[in-house]
Structure 1
Amino acid sequence: MSRARSMIAVVLLSVGVLLLGACGTLRAGTGGAGTGVRGAPAASESPRWQTFAPFRVTAARLAADHRTLSVDAEVPGNGKKCARDVKAVVTDASDRTVWVQVTFSALTGGPARNDCRKTMTATARVRLPSPLGHRELATDTHTVFTADGADPPDLRLCGELGCHPAPTGCTAASYEQAVMALDVPTHTSRGEEHCDGKWLVFSVSSRMGPACAPGEGPGCGASIGARWFFRAQTSGWTPIARTTKGGCGDVHRLEPEFPTALCTGLSPLRQPD
């Protein structure tokens, strides 16, 4: 955590947070010819207040009228000497999404303030044009909230697969969610899937050995794998069996109802020597 906060301090002091320009959101110092955005001011320049995006948006809440929105954001420092004018503005809306932009003002140029090396949570409020309903609330590219499945007044922070990932079904999104339910390394790859909507089987493989390209030396490109079998539940795909053998023998010992058509032609998985 200390390393992360040190990085945040360095980013702030070098004005590496996002600068909001008339042409969109840019990183300070990256403005080229014609963008109208200058680089970070030199340390010798007089301090001035400029507008930035927060480090991250951490939470969102809706009042009982379903229109008054409160957004928590992580900003620099210790009070208004480090960050002020925290604002939330509705920038666009559609039948599926409401986009809200969160900004704050911070001093740039001049000597750095030690008490601004830390971060704090600031809250901005805005009234939506209409009740959020089942629409998603997007506060930046990666931070999206929804009222569906949330515990009011809090909105629910959506995950990597979106606000409403397919819990089951023969879709790539549901297969990705099934992998997340397994105790496997982060960079595990998925093999061919066999699915009928209620039952699912696929193999997964994880790289092992030296970090080198296949064929460059002994063990390069080696991986270890397993075949997983799943049953569809209301909450998503639930793993029921794991094996490296072919056919249906292992899964049928644990779940006789698993369809033979999905497993009878499966070959044994080759394991590294």
Structure 2
Amino acid sequence: MAALFCAVGVLLLGACGTRVAGRPPSPGTATPIPWTTMQPSAVTGVRVGADGRTLLLDTRVPSGADACVRGLKAVLTDPMTDLVRVQLTFVSPSGDRASGCTEERGSTAKVRLPEPLGGRDVIVDNSTRFTARGARPPALRQCGELGCTPPATGCTAASYDQAARAADVPLHTYREAQKCDGKWLVLDLSWRTGPICGDPHDPACTSRRGDRWFFRARKTGWQPITRTAAGGCRDVRRAEPAFPAALCASLDPLSPALLPSYSPAPGAR
């Protein structure tokens, strides 16, 4: 009878998920979620401390009902030269959605430099660049896709590259400036639709799709107004009545035969 009671007791303990040393967890026992080292999803700002040599890096880290971040830190990855390179890391279980760390919150990390920052740029995680040029201290200015000193709006190749980026057209887009006076711009943008071929004269290899884009100049660069495949001024004047007729009245409609058939300029999208 005593032997039977012990057997029943063992079964009951097993049903409750009791773990015996040296054995794997019983069914239903939660496995701890591992904490791993990772980098922030974004760096939103860099500021310089009053001493001129402390950087405060504003970033985004995982957030949830329980603890989601430990050990957020910023470290120099290379000796200071004309640049300061910083890496941000933290430890978190957020790689597993079961952790509950599915939101984000702001956080700040600090790093003290061996000497004052001066006029050096700061590159965070080998991707995001900040500069003191044109910034409002103590904050640094974040540089964009075209660098820290993007080309001024004008009738130049670099300026047309900026306009193509602003239009958010596909990569490897071909561009051809139709009209430009420094304040207004007409740009034909097209991209291949056929297979990749070795013969540039084969129609199957040079077929393209595209649109004619109209832009206005702003301090930040060319700003898209509208796009169309039609000729003349009708569509752009509907969107922006101030667009000068002298830059659109003579434009022919776009057709596959009229799309650019040249190679993109260096740096073009």
1:70, distance to aligned residue in structure 2 (A)? 0.8
Give yes or no for contact 2:53–2:117 (8 Å, CA) kept in 1: yes
Greater CA drift, 148-157 or 198-207: 198-207
Select the residue among 50, 54, 69 that pairs with 1:68: 54
1:127-206 equivalent positions in 2, closer than 5 A: 127-168=112-153, 172-180=157-165, 184=167, 186-187=169-170, 189-192=173-176, 203-206=187-190
1:270, distance to aligned residue in structure 2 (A)? 3.9
What is the TM-score normalised by the length of structure 1?
0.55
1:204–1:81 CA distance, 2 compared to 1 (3 A): same
1:88, distance to aligned residue in structure 2 (A)? 0.5
1:167-199 CA distances to partner (integer Å, 9 max, x unpaired)?
257764332223356xx4533834345999979
1:175–1:93 CA distance, 2 compared to 1 (3 A): farther
- Percent sequence identity is 38
1:238-258 CA distances to partner (integer Å, 9 max, x unpaired)?
899x9957xxxxxxx9498x9
Give yes or no for contact 2:56–2:111 (8 Å, CA) kept in 1: yes
In terms of Rg, which structure is larger? 2
Paired letter, 2:77: T
CA distance in 1, matches of 2:69, 2:31: 19
Give yes or no for contact 2:130–2:143 (8 Å, CA) kept in 1: yes
Give yes or no for contact 2:43–2:60 (8 Å, CA) kept in 1: yes
CA distance in 2, matches of 1:244, 1:94: 55
Give yes or no for contact 1:51–1:104 (8 Å, CA) kept in 2: yes
Q: RMSD of the TM alignment (CA)?
A: 4.8
Give yes or no for contact 2:135–2:141 (8 Å, CA) kept in 1: yes
1:99, distance to aligned residue in structure 2 (A)? 0.6
1:127-166 CA distances to partner (integer Å, 9 max, x unpaired)?
1223333322111233221122222222222111111222
Alignment pair present for 1:84 and 2:67: no
Per the alignment, in what secondary structure is the counterpart of residue 161 of structure 2? helix
Give yes or no for contact 1:48–1:108 (8 Å, CA) kept in 2: no
Paired letter, 1:85: G
Give yes or no for contact 1:46–1:110 (8 Å, CA) kept in 2: no
Give yes or no for contact 2:61–2:106 (8 Å, CA) kept in 1: yes
1:71–1:239 CA distance, 2 compared to 1 (3 A): closer
Corresponding residue for 1:248?
none
1:79-130 CA distances to partner (integer Å, 9 max, x unpaired)?
882111110011124543211011112248999333x222222211111223
Q: Which runs of 5 or more structure 1 residues have no equivalent in the other structure? A: 1-42, 246-252, 259-265
1:15-30 equivalent positions in 2, closer than 5 A: none
Corresponding residue for 2:83?
97
1:193–1:95 CA distance, 2 compared to 1 (3 A): farther
Give yes or no for contact 1:61–1:71 (8 Å, CA) kept in 2: yes
CA distance in 1, matches of 2:97, 2:219: 57
CA distance in 1, matches of 2:254, 2:164: 20
Corresponding residue for 1:58?
44
Paired letter, 1:53: Q
CA distance in 2, matches of 1:110, 1:198: 52
1:61, distance to aligned residue in structure 2 (A)? 1.2
Corresponding residue for 1:124?
109
Give yes or no for contact 1:47–1:109 (8 Å, CA) kept in 2: no
